[in-house]
Structure 1
Amino acid sequence: MLLYVLSVILSSVLIILFALKTYYPYLWMDILYVGELLWILATFTSMRRRRPLFLAVDRFAEQTAAHPDRTFVVFENQTYSYTAADKRSNKIANALQSLCGYTSGDTVALFMGNEPAFMFTWLALAKLGSPVALLNQNIRNKCLLHCFNCSKAKVLIAASELKEAVQEVLLSLSEQGVTVLLMSEHCNAPGLQSFLDKVNEASDAPLPRSVRLHITYKTPAVYIYTSGTTGLPKAAVINQNRLLKNLAVLSFNGITSRDVIYLNLPLYHTAGFMIGFIGSIQTGSTIILKRKFSASQFWDDCRKHNVTVIQYIGEVLRYLCNMPKRENDKDHKVRMAIGNGLRAEIWTEFLTRFGNIQIQEFYAATEGNVIFVNYPGKIGAIGRVNFFQRMVFPYVLIKYDIDRDEPVRDTNGLCIESPKGETGLMVSKITDMAPFVGYAQNEEQTERKRLRNVLKKGDLYFNSGDLMRIDEDNFIYFQDRVGDTFRWKGENVATTEVSDILTISDCLKEANVYGVQVPGHDGRIGMAAVTVVEDGQFDGSQVYNHVVRHLPSYARPRFLRIQNAAELTGTFKQMKVKLVEESFDPGCIQDPLYILDDNDKSYVPLTAQVYGTILSGNIKL
């Protein structure tokens, strides 16, 4: 009898397990994910309760004390332990404190590329309680000045190789009384001070925590810039609370102190700074830092340094897949790739070619208040949604009118939720647990990201600007971006910014900028429909030199379409939909077409032959 009962129980258990596996294949993954999420929330809450106030920089101090000789960062032929990084940041902090024009807590703008000095300077400023504006090293002139002014910084610290870029805006900075420091041992240029010599002579004594007692969790920690529809980058405010939360990003994905992280994404970006740098502080991992991404050096670097974790944006993995195949493609120790924007076809190709690497795809925005994680590894999805996450961080997909560029509302003025399987605008509720801080010195753009009266009168949501779709298995997929911004080479490009630059060219009168798709490429590449000034002629060389001087490479329009007159709507808005549909096919477009040619340093005619080579992938874009 007992044997019978046991057999019945065992059979029942097996049937239940089989049914769960069949009808709820992701249940155990969901339970594990929720458990990890609860652990993160508990850890974060514990950190928040510590006194005195516990900040991200304090976690670095803990790692230094616990593992003083562990390698923190490797850069080219240089290796820095946690202790070396700590002492170097102390020297920078002490050098700053001795300068006239700086007081602990002042906002400082950091204008540097990927190098250890970037990390050490940020650590120094964090120890001093100073918010840091992370300026894109590629910006120039008006854009550079705009980004600097957004933060209301009193000091600018720039890399020595960016001296000329700083000098272009030095007059305006001097008029504001800004202290400008160059990371060099000598500087004879008026208005600039050498800083490296002062750092080398400074003490490496630790700073007392009392210098940052003025900080609260609402105090800005960093300003990270994101493109918007205003035409110039917006400074997203990342406060100390948000930065503390981001400590958990890597540990949440199972990364530990034994991992070696390959960081070749820009440190001024959210991915490079918040995930690669700040995330490694929490885990105590080693960072292999590169100045910039190189597809040809990527795997050799990984093998040389025994890299176990790599970061990506969608384009990065595509570039790797486009490299010539090698016999040792699978000869490496990389176990995980973490990032976002990976297309399904590249995902599959990457795994087939480079081996069994866990792809940890996620979705998040610099200034956003929600994150999705594709923890089951479903190819093509940006994440998986579940009841618990929606309860803690409420979000919804709502119907969106692309032509009117606004949400669809019912007769009561409320938004309409998109059914499963249909594309909708992703919006997330603004709460104490999921706040939206906004943009520095830009209340107008901050308000534009707030969406009111979504599901009920008086509620408030963050407008992601992203169109998404949730399937029947609760996986969420990115579909497209709305508004005037498109993505190219992992960067957000604001069309109005590019339009403004084009129209101050000597020969162009109007410019309508938009993104067009190119087969085999992620995102949308820049194209502009332009008109020439009256009685003028299009000068390809002049326009080329103009855009190269004023725009970073990813924002330069690759294609130009010369029109006799700009096409406008009845409300005098530039028409884009038809232009996007027609793209850059000379067989369908009667207007003259040009393509940016870096070899000729000019915009040259886009012929049918050139068009064919683009489609075949023989021209690098």
Structure 2
Amino acid sequence: MSGTVREQLLARAGDPGAGLLFEDAAWTWDEVVHASAVRAAVLAELLPHDGPPHVGLLLDNVPEFAFLLGGAALSGQVVVGLNTTRRGAALAADVRRSDTRLVLTDATYAGLLEDLRLDVPVLRVDSHVWADLLARHADASLPQASVTADDLLMLIFTSGTSGEPKAVNVTHEKVAHPGRFLSERFGLGPGDVAYLSMPLFHSNAVMAGWGPALASGATVALARRFSASGFLPDVRRHGATYATYVGKPLTYVLATPERDDDAENPLRLVFGNEANERDIDDFARRFGCVVVDSYSSTENAVIVQRVPGMPPGSLGRPVEGVAVLDPETRAEVPVAEFGPDGRLLNAEAATGEIVNTTGAGAFAGYYRDPDAEAERMRGGMYWSGDLAYRDAAGFLYFAGRTADWLRVDGENLAAAPIERVLLRHPDVAEAAVYAVPDHVGDLVAAAVTVRRPLGADALATFLATQPDLSPQAWPRFLRVLDELPRTATNKVLKRRLTADGVADAVPVPHP
């Protein structure tokens, strides 16, 4: 069993099968491994020898990113995935806190770095200097390196939806293991093509896309960036049988004009997390594939498994050791109680934080951030920061982030169940529920994007027909936006919605 990504790459050396596709270019796996060895040699020349061998990549999903990631895996170097949506002092802080010793970028993002004091070299991979370096090391052999499963391969920043992003330690095992597991689970092999449109600086593309393709010998097809209109043409052009997503890409693809031949494509499986049930079903029907949505995070410390016949809206059933605990008492919360109309009767008591009570799981810590690690690892247990409740059969239901608590009329409410109600409306494409401060406690506000015009009166009429919506959970304000503020990995920035207030909102009639 391969415990490192280095071993998995070495297993692809000499493989004549298709390894990488990008636009109109193609490389065999053997060529990918050699290109990776060349980049390892270049980085060995460029990186200082007196500190951590960390190289920051400020790039889209271009072949250089894949080759540099492979080179780091072969040689024991570490890729720092720099978020291409970060700007100014925030981007510079990411470079500093990750001990990045060299930043590689290209014409697309070089301008973001021009006025920043980074105190490290910046080199463009589309420059003649880079081309000369590659030519000088063109005959590089596979590097000799001692790499273990616990060694760092990447630093991947969290999305930062509830604060400053944290650099997650991504070891070789954190990529090699899910690569093996997912490729076996989904039956991926050399005949498959994995389409990667999520950014390579994030865990989804690396752990759920690149890793399984590498482990199984499937082909990686890179999209420079995600494009809703370009998704299906890319799938057809590359013959993609497998694709990944995180957040709302399914919603965006479904918003493109439907055609009679949409299901005429090679796609058989789409895997990701945070899609809503309606989009999962609609996407599978429209494009003739299976969509598997899974609870996940970059830290990868909590496992909740989807099983056949699970209730609508459920995340699945947690593995042994995963529980829902009260953050204050650290006791397990009561089982959720539902009325005959489906309404959650004991929401405040039954909602708690998802916790790995056995320890850290696959969480390898945050880089140079002991305070953040201590916050995650309280009492020897991993606290996910995600809220949930569980039914009598043991199924978990996502209730939002710990920052998604709203205090309404003396009752704690979670945002996610209200969002699920809003998404039942046929005209609502996306929904984000957040708190608006009141004199005492909060009022519920909803920001939505819509398929067709939606007014406050029409929404109120719809909400009145939803038996499981409590009076306290009724949205008092409606904001219809062209798009919700999101991170680069499609997660909603609710703190920005809260900061924007409700000046552009309309009141929703309340019964």
Q: TM-score range by the shorter chain?
A: 0.7 to 0.9
1:227-306 equivalences in 2 (<5 Å): 227-228=159-160, 231-248=163-180, 249-306=182-239
Deviates more, 1:258-267 or 1:515-524: 515-524
- Aligned partner of 2:397 in structure 1 is 477
SS of the residue 1:483 aligns to: helix
- Aligned partner of 1:32 in structure 2 is none
Judged with a 3 Å threshold, the aligned counterparts in structure 2 of structure 1 residues 149 and 365 are, in CA distance, closer, same or farther, namely: same
Tell me if structure 2 keeps the 8 A contact 1:91–1:205.
Answer: yes
Q: Cα deviation per residue 1:537-576 (whole Å; 9 max; x = unaligned)? A: xxxxxxxxxxxxxxxxxxxxxxxxxxxxx9788xxxxx7x
Match of 1:156 among 88, 94, 103: 103
1:391-430 equivalences in 2 (<5 Å): 394-399=321-326, 407-409=327-329, 414-419=330-335, 422-430=350-358
Distance between the aligned counterparts of 1:346 and 1:217, measured in 2?
Answer: 37
Distance between the aligned counterparts of 2:368 and 2:162, measured in 1?
Answer: 13
SS of the residue 2:286 aligns to: helix
1:499-518 equivalences in 2 (<5 Å): none
Distance between the aligned counterparts of 1:271 and 1:100, measured in 2?
Answer: 27
Distance between the aligned counterparts of 1:235 and 1:226, measured in 2?
Answer: 6
AA in 1 matched with 2:381: Y
- Aligned partner of 2:118 in structure 1 is 173
Distance between the aligned counterparts of 1:418 and 1:254, measured in 2?
Answer: 39
Distance between the aligned counterparts of 1:471 and 1:228, measured in 2?
Answer: 30
Tell me if structure 1 keeps the 8 A contact 2:299–2:362.
Answer: no
Higher relative contact order (CA 8 A, sep 6+): 2
Shift of 1:320: 2.1
Distance between the aligned counterparts of 2:446 and 2:243, measured in 1?
Answer: 38
TM-score (norm 1): 0.64
Aligned Cα root-mean-square deviation (Å): 3.7
- Aligned partner of 2:376 in structure 1 is 449
Tell me if structure 2 keeps the 8 A contact 1:182–1:195.
Answer: yes
Say whether 1:99 aligns with 2:46.
Answer: yes
Distance between the aligned counterparts of 2:481 and 2:8, measured in 1?
Answer: 50
Shift of 1:267: 0.8
Say whether 1:207 aligns with 2:207.
Answer: no
1:447-596 equivalences in 2 (<5 Å): 447-452=374-379, 460-483=380-403, 520-522=428-430, 524=432, 577-578=442-443, 580-581=444-445
AA in 2 matched with 1:246: P
Tell me if structure 1 keeps the 8 A contact 2:41–2:137.
Answer: yes
Distance between the aligned counterparts of 1:485 and 1:590, measured in 2?
Answer: 16
Shift of 1:269: 1.0
Tell me if structure 2 keeps the 8 A contact 1:259–1:285.
Answer: yes
Tell me if structure 1 keeps the 8 A contact 2:433–2:445.
Answer: no
Say whether 1:223 aligns with 2:172.
Answer: no
Match of 1:62 among 11, 26, 51: 11
Distance between the aligned counterparts of 1:330 and 1:595, measured in 2?
Answer: 30
Which blocks of at least 5 consecutive residues in structure 1 are unaligned?
A: 1-45, 49-54, 187-193, 400-406, 453-459, 487-513, 530-565, 570-574, 599-603, 613-621
Tell me if structure 2 keeps the 8 A contact 1:330–1:354.
Answer: yes
Shift of 1:121: 0.8
Shift of 1:180: 2.2
Q: Cα deviation per residue 1:193-226 (whole Å; 9 max; x = unaligned)? A: x4233113323322332xx32x443332211111
Shift of 1:590: 12
Judged with a 3 Å threshold, the aligned counterparts in structure 2 of structure 1 residues 385 and 230 are, in CA distance, closer, same or farther, namely: closer
TM-score (norm 2): 0.76
Shift of 1:398: 1.9
- Aligned partner of 1:499 in structure 2 is none
| Matched residue count | 443
Judged with a 3 Å threshold, the aligned counterparts in structure 2 of structure 1 residues 161 and 219 are, in CA distance, closer, same or farther, namely: same
Distance between the aligned counterparts of 1:251 and 1:383, measured in 2?
Answer: 22
Distance between the aligned counterparts of 2:296 and 2:228, measured in 1?
Answer: 25
Distance between the aligned counterparts of 2:431 and 2:152, measured in 1?
Answer: 32
Quick check: which one's helix share is greater? 1
Say whether 1:310 aligns with 2:243.
Answer: yes
AA in 2 matched with 1:373: Q
Tell me if structure 2 keeps the 8 A contact 1:308–1:336.
Answer: yes
- Aligned partner of 2:363 in structure 1 is 436
Tell me if structure 2 keeps the 8 A contact 1:94–1:203.
Answer: no
- Aligned partner of 2:294 in structure 1 is 362
